[in-house]
């Protein structure tokens, strides 16, 4: 018996979509979720964008039949809103998303057979296999699904006009700088935006549940009192019906930011073109062809708890790790520095690798470095290579932070000497990566 050297056996999950069976490699499957209208896990819509609330996270959804081009229009709406839907939660790199399927059968180890040369241009499939009953089924390529999810992330994908097709092509060329944003209105008709990754949950409370105590509005939320914060001084909640709000949680505490209306979730570039001197606003950017205010969460969080970014002084110097954060964008420095501080780190920021190298040459001691990749003059790869060439910093943990996470960029980061590579708005991933490097370090290098 001759066995090809390229023979591969993988464990897969067999699913059904539009009456056909497909195999999904289990390596990319995080979990399976059964969704029903009366269950904890349910499919909701922000405008026309389906999302799944799953343990304090909002996951974008797309139906497998839509990815394969089988269902369109009302058929796909009906398939996604079906009471008996199954969702396969997948993770590719740092990207987590849900794929709605019609049915789930079982797990099976299959022999991967290569695609025919005529079909190798189909990015959604990585091969095919023959099941025990003689059926030939296609093997889904998780990387192809992840790429397709990027084009289905905003509600604009539902339109198929030439103008939007050109817009999607333009966004594909600039995808390295696009992020997921939550658009809302509060206190004024002008739209406002906040990075979606920072929002823990979208909630609506009956106004009767909003209580007044100690001069401020509160709601009882998950066994604790959650302070409510308003965008403008003097704003008030609704007098009847339900009150929408954005919930931000960290370290066991939550804040509710009261809004008038949640508008949409979009993927767009984040270029603050006009700065702001007004407290609570970082500036204005063009989002979905409209001037939009970018909210500074660092201003509102301490209004809920004054010590939101503080830690008790109990041996704080001995317990706190010092992190050097390098990013040329003031927006990301302002957004991620409070996140790192809230996680218990002593953060020093630099707006360029050159400034960071000057600090290290002066003898400043740091336990780890978090560096952006896309920077002028000296990029993140060159900065990390410079650190690795110096014996003093050769063993210091260095994490890459980038808006573009691809296998090629991750491999380039490994060659440069980064210990880990994290997506720019993956806040839990950044904190987890820092914990990993600190839990695994044998000593402090500086």
pLDDT per position as a tens digit, 397-426 = 999 988 878 888 888 888 999 999 988 878
Inform me whether the pLDDT recorded for 298 exceeds 90. no
Range of lowest pLDDT (71-85, 244-258, 285-299, 301-315): 71-85
Answer with the residue of higher pLDDT: 34 or 419: 419
Q: Say what the pLDDT of residue 81 is.
A: 55
Indicate the domain borders of the chain.
8-158, 176-304, 316-440
Tell which CATH classification among 3.40.50.2300, 3.40.50.300, 3.40.50.1000, 3.40.50.1360 matches the domain 316-440: 3.40.50.2300
Q: Answer whether 0.75 is exceeded by the pTM.
A: no
Superfamily of domain 8-158: CheA-289, Domain 4 (2.40.50.180)
Confidence grade of residue 228 (pLDDT, cut at 50, 70, 90):
very high
Judge if 8-158 and 176-304 fold alike in CATH terms.
Answer: yes
Condensed to tens digits (0 to 9), the pLDDT of residues 41-89 reads: 667 776 566 777 776 677 788 888 888 877 655 555 555 555 457 888 8
Of 370, 372, 373, nearest to 419 by C-alpha is 370
Q: Give the confidence band of 173 by pLDDT, cuts at 50, 70, 90.
A: very low
Position of tokens 């695609």?
115
- Residue 171 pLDDT grade (very low, low, confident, very high; cuts 50, 70, 90): very low
Beta-carbon contacts of 411 under 8 Å, excluding residues fewer than 6 positions away, are: none
260 dihedral zone (left: phi>0; alpha: psi -120 to 50; beta): alpha
Token digits of residue 326: 């390098």
Architecture of domain 176-304: Beta Barrel (2.40)
Residue 308 confidence (pLDDT): 67
Percentage with pLDDT > 70 across the chain: 81
> CA 253 to CA 255: how far, in whole Å?
7
């Amino acid at each position: 018996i001759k066995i090809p050297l390229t023979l591969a056996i993988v464990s897969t999950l067999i699913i059904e979509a539009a009456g056909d069976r497909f195999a999904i490699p289990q390596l990319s499957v995080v979990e399976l979720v059964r969704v029903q209208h009366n269950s904890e896990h349910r499919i909701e819509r922000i405008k026309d964008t389906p999302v799944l609330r799953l343990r304090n996270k909002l996951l974008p959804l797309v139906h497998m039949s839509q990815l394969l081009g089988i269902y369109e229009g009302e058929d796909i709406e009906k398939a996604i809103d079906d009471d008996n839907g199954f969702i396969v939660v997948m993770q590719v790199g740092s990207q987590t998303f849900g794929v709605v399927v019609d049915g789930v059968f079982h797990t099976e180890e299959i022999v991967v057979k290569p695609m025919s040369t005529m079909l190798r241009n189909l990015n959604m499939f990585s091969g095919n296999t023959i099941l025990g009953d003689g059926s030939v089924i296609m093997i889904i390529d998780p990387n192809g699904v992840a790429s397709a999810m990027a084009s289905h992330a905003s509600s604009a994908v539902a339109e198929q006009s030439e103008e939007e097709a050109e817009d999607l092509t333009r966004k594909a060329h600039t995808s390295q700088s696009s992020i997921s944003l939550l658009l809302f209105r509060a206190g004024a008709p002008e739209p406002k935006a906040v990075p979606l990754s920072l929002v823990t949950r979208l909630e609506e409370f009956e106004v009767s549940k909003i209580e007044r105590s100690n001069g401020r509005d509160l709601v009882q939320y998950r066994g604790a009192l959650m302070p409510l914060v308003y965008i403008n001084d003097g704003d008030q909640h609704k007098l009847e019906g339900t009150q929408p709000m954005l919930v931000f949680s960290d370290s066991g505490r939550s804040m509710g930011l009261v809004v008038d209306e949640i508008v949409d979730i979009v993927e767009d570039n984040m270029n603050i073109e006009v700065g702001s001197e007004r407290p609570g606003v970082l500036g204005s950017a063009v989002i979905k062809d409209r001037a939009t205010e970018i909210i500074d969460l660092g201003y509102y969080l301490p209004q809920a708890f004054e010590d939101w970014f503080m830690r008790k002084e109990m041996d704080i110097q001995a317990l706190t790790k010092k992190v050097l954060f390098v990013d040329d964008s003031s927006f990301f420095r302002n957004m991620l520095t409070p996140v790192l501080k809230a996680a218990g780190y002593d953060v020093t920021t630099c707006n360029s690798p050159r400034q960071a190298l000057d600090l290290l040459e002066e003898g400043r001691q740091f336990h780890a470095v978090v560096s952006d990749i896309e920077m002028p003059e000296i990029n993140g790869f060159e900065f990390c290579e410079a650190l690795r060439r110096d014996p003093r910093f050769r063993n210091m943990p260095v994490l890459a932070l980038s808006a573009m996470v691809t296998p090629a960029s991750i491999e380039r980061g490994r060659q440069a000497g980064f210990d880990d590579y994290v997506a720019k708005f993956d806040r839990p991933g950044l904190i987890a990566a820092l914990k990993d490097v600190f839990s695994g370090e044998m000593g402090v290098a500086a």
